[in-house]
Amino acid sequence: MKRLTILFIALFLINGAVFSQKIAVGQVKTVVIDPGHGGAKPGALGKKYKEKDITLSIALKLGKVISDNFEDVTVIYTRKTDVDISLAERARIANRAKADLFLSIHANSHPKTESKGVESFVMGLSNSKANLEVAKKENADILLENDYKNNADYNGFDPNSPESYIMFALYQHAYIDKSLNFAKNIQDQYKSKIKTINRGVKQAELFVLYKTTSPSVLTEVGFISNPVEEEYIGSDEGQADIVYCLFNAFAEYKAAEEGTKKITNPKFDIPGFNKDKKKQDNKNNKKTADTPKDTTKTATDTTVVATNTTVKADTLKGITGTAKTTLPKSDNKQNTAANDKERAIYRIQFLTSDKKLADDAPQFKGITNFIMTKDRLYRYLTGETAANLDEAKVLQKTIQEMGFKDAFIVPFYKGERISFEEARRINTAK
């Protein structure tokens, strides 16, 4: 019991640190790339390669491509050589740099050699035994550290102890939505480029993600225990494909966060890259660049600015939430433009939950005018009458003052989430 008490106290202290270290809104200028394992921690072992070597090679290539294409982005590595870095120190490197994005690269393994596929994880509670086993495997590096039981960084956390995972139950990452967006970008890119099973985006109790104070994703680039995938992820051609996917996922995430267009014709000066395939991919990307996409990757926090518009908290009430997945009509007659189905509108996402909440749940703090969407999580939004960004910013501030500190603005078009860039283009054309 004493041990659990200490864990809970440590948890709340860490949560306080998470929410006090906010990154710059709408900027992706510092990315930390974390090659999994290293030194005396080889990670998973294949017949030919070690996980620590594959992850380092991919990380260095990815960092080079990002640096070659984005002069405004600083790339930081948790390691650049075969050295041993603790999980806690990897997170500290990102936090000290005030990272805007953290990506941890790993290779999967399984006793069954036929297991294959790519998957990405964000911090959260495992909803399956398989996810928990991945977490245990990636957290197991802690056991290789000297005197880890007395290390204050881990607060008594034992990767093999079910009791230790209780500490994650109360944890709510401040950047869960952004992390999910980036993870989905990665899996979408894998699906279009790599011929294997797409195992999707999942949640797991991963210590390195738990400690970071930025949007964070751990991606498994393939199964080193599968002879075919081991050969692929260890080859220049396979790594070039993986880097291509991770870079495009990053570029898409950065463009959505900053409200800019995704980079076209990027430079890929790494071994194994197929230039002819690149030209075809760029051609395909250009065909779809001018149309609103079906996406949930574009939720972006927006800084509140002073305007002459005022929105009272009472305007958030009046319509009881019905947990519909389609969007209701506006009831705010001041914002008639929002009723135009051909215009993009703005909503405020104020709450995220892994469980469906009752309409009168205390978590809503009195807000009754809301709608719900669901993918991997239940997302609750209000302010569907905000027809322009200035009004949305004022409403966002109002909601934040009601206690939803991390409320952010999400553009919609015809019932689908879109990017700020797409919203501006749509509304400018009307």
Domains of the chain: 2-288 (3.40.630.40), 313-429 (no CATH)
Q: 70 falls in which pLDDT band (50, 70, 90)?
A: very high
Name the strand (E) or helix (H) holding 423. helix 420-429
DSSP code of residue 300: B
Rounded average pLDDT over 8-36: 62
Question: 378 vs 177, 349, 351, CA distance in Å?
Answer: 11, 11, 8
Range from 69-83, 265-279, 345-359, 410-424 that averages highest in pLDDT: 69-83
Q: Can you read off the two tokens belonging to residue 404?
A: 């939803």
Backbone region of residue 317 per phi and psi (left: phi > 0; alpha: psi in -120 to 50; beta: other values): beta
Report d(CA 154, CA 16) in Å as an integer.
Answer: 17
Backbone angles phi, psi at 121, to 5 degrees: -120, 145
Residue 277: per-residue pLDDT: 52
**Which one is predicted more confidently, 422 or 248?**
248
Residue 13: per-residue pLDDT: 44
pLDDT reading at 274 higher than 70: yes
pLDDT reading at 118 higher than 90: yes
Cα pseudo-dihedral 36, 38, 42, 43, rounded to 10: -10
CB 141 within 8 A of CB 197: no
Backbone region of residue 365 per phi and psi (left: phi > 0; alpha: psi in -120 to 50; beta: other values): left
14-19, Cβ contacts within 8 angstroms, sequence gap of 24 or more: 14/210, 14/211, 15/171, 15/172, 17/213, 18/173, 18/174, 18/213, 19/174, 19/405, 19/406
Residue 393: per-residue pLDDT: 80
pLDDT digits 0-9 by tens, 229-261? 999 999 999 999 999 999 999 999 999 888 888
pLDDT digits 0-9 by tens, 321-370? 333 323 333 333 333 344 456 788 888 888 887 778 888 888 888 888 88
Nearest to 166 by CA among 383, 32, 1: 1
**Which one is predicted more confidently, 155 or 188?**
188
pLDDT reading at 317 higher than 50: no
Cα-Cα-Cα-Cα dihedral sign, residues 101, 107, 110, 116 = positive
Mean pLDDT, rounded, of the chain: 76
Lowest mean pLDDT: which of 119-133, 172-186, 235-249, 274-288?
A: 274-288
- For β-strands 416-417 and 408-413, DSSP reports them as antiparallel
Q: 155 falls in which pLDDT band (50, 70, 90)?
A: low
- For β-strands 118-123 and 371-374, DSSP reports them as unpaired
Residue 318: per-residue pLDDT: 33
| Exposed/middle/buried for residue 68 (C-beta within 10 Å: 0-12, 13-18, 19+) | middle
Nearest to 210 by CA among 103, 97, 88: 88
Nearest to 243 by CA among 62, 22, 73, 426: 62
Residue 386: per-residue pLDDT: 62
Residue 129: per-residue pLDDT: 67
Residue 75: per-residue pLDDT: 98
Return the percentage of the chain with pLDDT > 70, whole number: 66
Cα angle for residues 226, 56, 181 (degrees, 5° grid) = 80
What ranges in 140-274 are assigned the alpha helix state H? 176-193, 207-211, 227-234, 236-258
Lowest mean pLDDT: which of 163-177, 262-276, 306-320, 349-363?
A: 306-320
Rounded average pLDDT over 392-404: 83
Lowest mean pLDDT: which of 3-17, 287-301, 303-317?
A: 303-317
Q: Which residues are CB-neighbours of 162 under 8 A, at least 6 positions away?
A: none
- Other beta carbons within 10 angstroms of residue 72's beta carbon come to 9
Residue 173: per-residue pLDDT: 60
**Which one is predicted more confidently, 64 or 321?**
64
Beta bridge partners of 372: 380
Nearest to 397 by CA among 261, 306, 297: 306
pLDDT digits 0-9 by tens, 165-191? 555 555 556 688 889 899 999 999 999
Nearest to 190 by CA among 213, 166, 221, 161: 221
pLDDT reading at 313 higher than 90: no
Residue 61: per-residue pLDDT: 98
Residue 348: per-residue pLDDT: 87
Report d(CA 392, CA 403) in Å as an integer.
Answer: 17
**Which one is predicted more confidently, 391 or 116?**
116
DSSP code of residue 338: G
Residue 166: per-residue pLDDT: 56
Residue 359: per-residue pLDDT: 86
Q: 149 falls in which pLDDT band (50, 70, 90)?
A: low
Residue 399: per-residue pLDDT: 85
Q: In angstroms, what is the C-alpha Rg of the chain?
A: 22
